[in-house]
Amino acid sequence: MNAVECPREHEVVAVVLSGRWPEGCDLALRDHAAACAVCGDVVAIAPALRQDQRLSDVQVPAAGQVWWRSAIRARADAARQAAQPMVWLQAVAGAGAVGAALAGVGMMWPRLQGMFHFLPFTAASLQEPMLLLTGIGIVAAPIAYYLALPRE
Amino acid sequence: MAEWTLSDVERLSALHDADRTFQMTEDAFRAFYELTARPVWLYLARITGDRRLADDLLQEAYYRFLRTTTTFESDDHRRNYLFRIATNLAHDNRRRPRMQSVPVDDAERSLPAATENADQVARRLDVTRAMSQLKPRDRSLLWLAYAQGASHEEIAERLGLKRSSLKTLLFRARRRLITALGSTSPKERRS
């Protein structure tokens, strides 16, 4: 036997939880508990915890109510999950639309540049910023779309 | 009549099957619930110290239990799994900002039973007050071991602890409770 555990601890706990401590249990076990540090601690706290467990006012909801609430929640979760692929499809479509719009602007650029010849830059100087903007748009559009959607 | 989209059809199909994904039938759940709801609620109330929170966590624990895909080998395994969910929920909840709580009432707990004498009532109140000063894991350990009479194997499974470290943890929790009792009990303080 060491200070951390005692082989008779379970026996003492069983006697306490059955309500036979101290009068209803045999003298040898009481003597042991009086001499053993582990079992001494156990009998100092276990009867009060057992009483607390036994006498506490517990009002749990009916089983049917818990089942019903769980079923409603499962349905709500299932509906949310079923809607998720559609959200992603819409996000991909949104990204495609942004990409197509930017590609359209790129194809039209020589003509547009002619219309805006008074501007202080050329098509060649805008090629890199346009590519960069296209890339950012393709990445950011689905993310922005996803963040903008309501969670519930 | 409204037109149906593919999304509507998918949703309806999902709704129809939602509670079929539960891992037991309603009748089996009712029987299981009658056996476990009271001890689980008490456990949650004692480790969180909040009755309203215990109500919410009880519902959440059973929901997660019903949705689990785990295969249970026995009723004990099923019960331990439920307690494990309850333990995790209580721990997760501690990390979140607190809502208004309804504390477990000392006065209600100290109501004497017909079979209790004044010393027993005072001792019970001292122990429950001292328990509230302990860390949640210590409270869990002591409550499972000495209020519910769970074996070391069951406690290890319910709290997700190693069996080898349990004896030491339980020993320390007992000592902390005894020390806390020394600081809360008027009788102990006088001596």
Q: Which of B14, B113, B177 sits opposite A55 (nearest CB)?
A: B113
**Alpha helices (H) along A18-152:** 27-35, 37-55, 63-115, 123-148
- Between A87 and A32, the higher pLDDT residue: A32
- The angle that helices B152-159 and B75-95 make with each other, rounded to 10 degrees, is 50
For B43, the enclosing helix (H) or strand (E) is helix B26-48
How confident is the model over B10-48, as pLDDT tens digits? 555 555 565 677 888 899 999 999 999 999 999 998 888
What pLDDT shows up at residue B7? 56
How confident is the model over B49-82, as pLDDT tens digits? 888 899 999 999 999 999 998 889 899 999 999 9
If one counts the domains in chain A, the total is: 2
Any domain includes A34: yes
If one counts the domains in chain B, the total is: 2
Three-state SS for A147? Answer: helix
Any domain includes A4: no
What pTM did the predictor assign?
0.69
**Residues in chain A closer than 8 A to B167 (CB atoms):** 4-5
Residues B121 and B178 in one domain: yes
Q: Do B42 and A53 touch (CB under 8 A)?
A: yes
Residues B111 and B186 in one domain: yes
To the nearest whole angstrom, how far is the Cα of A139 from the nearest Cα of chain B? 26
Residues A77 and A143 in one domain: yes
How confident is the model over B120-170, as pLDDT tens digits? 777 777 877 888 889 989 999 999 999 999 999 999 999 999 988 998 999
What pLDDT shows up at residue B114? 57
